[in-house]
Amino acid sequence: MRKIKVAILGATGAVGQRFVQLLANHPWFEVTALTGSDRTVGLTYGEGCRWILPEPIPEYAKDMQVIPTEAGFEAALAFSALPAELAREAEPALAAAGYAVCSNASAHRMWPDVPLLIPEVNPDHTALVETQKKQRGWKGFIVTNPNCTSTGLTIAFKALQEAFGLRRAFVVSLQALSGAGYPGVASLDITDNVVPYISGEEDKVETEPQKMLGRLNGGSIEPAPLRISAHTNRVAVTDGHLVCASVEFEQAAGPDQAARALAEFQAPALVQTLPSAPHCVVEVRPEADRPQPRRDREAGQGMTTVVGRVRADPLFHVKFVVLSHNTIRGAAGGAILNAELLVAQKLI
């Protein structure tokens, strides 16, 4: 198979760097363009990027020249790590120009004709791509992945929704520093401290799962009836978002049943064949004190959702803890898996 040419939009930022890293040696994709801000355009990626990941910059990217974020580059697909403000204009423009945009930005996630996609959860929502192209007269399209906190949570919710139906959920997150980008959170704000607030986050966590767990109905999504209350907090952890969740089912079920439903959850057959799909979608840990961010975030190369402490809830049915790697599964890795699904579904 000839590799598909892909661009990375906003390649020098924290999520952009993860795209650069995860796309090194990708079996289906070949990076042919890296876009950046005015400050970096014209420099090589090695010069323009303050690389913050522990592993070194992939060789392929070092000498590529950073170009502006506008149509003209040679690629079929563009991964977007743009900040929401920039994504708002750039992504529709690129979609109109014919690129398939797989975006990690929040700007278009809740547009009715844009799929908010997790391949293990709602692969059929990609049907919106046709609606989108038709309605907007675009040659390309936009597909988005959810917020980093919504991601692992929605995967766990999907397993439970299928088994018992979901009515209500309380969720409280303890989110990693890398979720705020780079430089992001000031060290003086988080050392020996917790910040119980992340701008805009609670609204995303309360609404995105409804869309993803919703039903495709003609050309739009009927949101799932699940209602969510979210508190979001920043803690002094480099990577890995932890979420405490209490859930009420449609159909009563206890912790053992819930743990089984989570452990046995499988992606649809087509999704299981994708190169970035984790072998194990949800890993259920039996220990009293797991998952933990530093010890579990690398599960399945950062693509597995780790659940633990599944136990009875005094008010709803079950409570548990979910961990997901926020810059892999919850950002770049999730967007790449989405693109792989689109290829497998012959939409790219």
The residues that are catalytic are 148, 241
Choosing from 67, 76, 97, 172, the residue that interacts with its own copies (CB under 8 A) is 172
Nearer to its own copies, 132 or 147 (CB): 147
User: Cα separation of 77 and 51, whole Å?
Assistant: 24
4 close to 348: Cβ distance less than 8 angstroms? yes
Residue of the chain from 133, 170, 272, 301 that contacts its own copies (CB under 8 A): 170
Among the listed residues 63, 84, 134, 193, the single contact to its own copies using CB under 8 A: 193
Q: Residue type at 208?
A: E
Q: What minimum distance in Å lies between the beta carbon of 168 and its own copies? A: 6
Binding map of its own copies across residues 47-76, x = CB under 8 A, - = no contact: -----x-xx---------------------
Q: Please report whether residue 300 would count as binding its own copies according to CB under 8 A.
A: no
Whole-angstrom distance, CA of residue 252 vs CA of residue 155:
20
Q: In angstroms, what is the minimal distance from the CB of 156 to its own copies? A: 14
Instruction: Tell whether residue 286 is a contact of its own copies (CB under 8 A).
Output: no
Instruction: From 342, 348, 346, 332, select the one nearest 79 (Cα to Cα).
Output: 332
Contacts of 206 (CB under 8 A, 6+ apart): 228, 229, 230
Token pair recorded at residue 340: 């792989």
Q: Shortest gap between Cβ of 6 and its own copies (angstroms)?
A: 26
> Which of 72, 74, 186, 217 is in the footprint of its own copies by CB under 8 A?
186
Single-letter amino acid, residue 333:
G
DSSP 3-state of 191: coil
Instruction: For residues 168 and 210, give the distance between their C-alpha atoms in angstroms, rounded to a whole number.
Output: 11
309-331 residues labelled b (16+ CB within 10 A) or e (exposed): bbeeeeebbbbbbbbbbbbbbbb
Residues near its own copies (CB under 8 A), total: 58
Q: What is the distance in angstroms between the CA of the first residue and the CA of the last residue of the chain?
A: 14
Q: Is 149 in the site for its own copies (CB under 8 A)?
A: no
Smallest gap from Cβ 65 to its own copies, in A, equals 21
CB 42 within 8 A of CB 69: no
Of 282, 337, 346, 343, nearest in space to 145 by CA: 337
Site string for its own copies, 9-48 (x = CB under 8 A): -----x----------------------------------
Contact mark string toward its own copies, 209..248, x via CB under 8 A: ------------------xxx-x-x-xxxx---x-x-x--
Q: Using CB under 8 A, which of the segments 2-10, 30-38, 283-291, 335-343 binds its own copies?
A: 283-291
Question: Is there binding between residue 331 and its own copies (CB under 8 A)?
Answer: no
What is the C-alpha radius of gyration for the chain, rounded to an integer number of angstroms?
Answer: 19
Return the ∠ at Cα 331 (arms to 80 and 108), rounded to 5°.
50
User: Does 163 sit near its own copies (CB under 8 A)?
Assistant: no
- Give the C-alpha separation, 61 to 97, whole Å: 25
313 binds its own copies (CB under 8 A): yes
Name which of 8 and 177 has its Cβ closer to its own copies: 177
134 or 294, CB closer to its own copies? 294
Separation between Cα atoms, residue 232 and residue 174, nearest integer Å: 7
Task: Give residues in contact with its own copies (CB under 8 A).
Answer: 14, 52, 54-55, 168, 170, 172, 174, 177-178, 182-197, 199, 206, 227-229, 231, 233, 235-238, 242, 244, 246, 288-296, 298, 308-309, 313-316, 319, 321
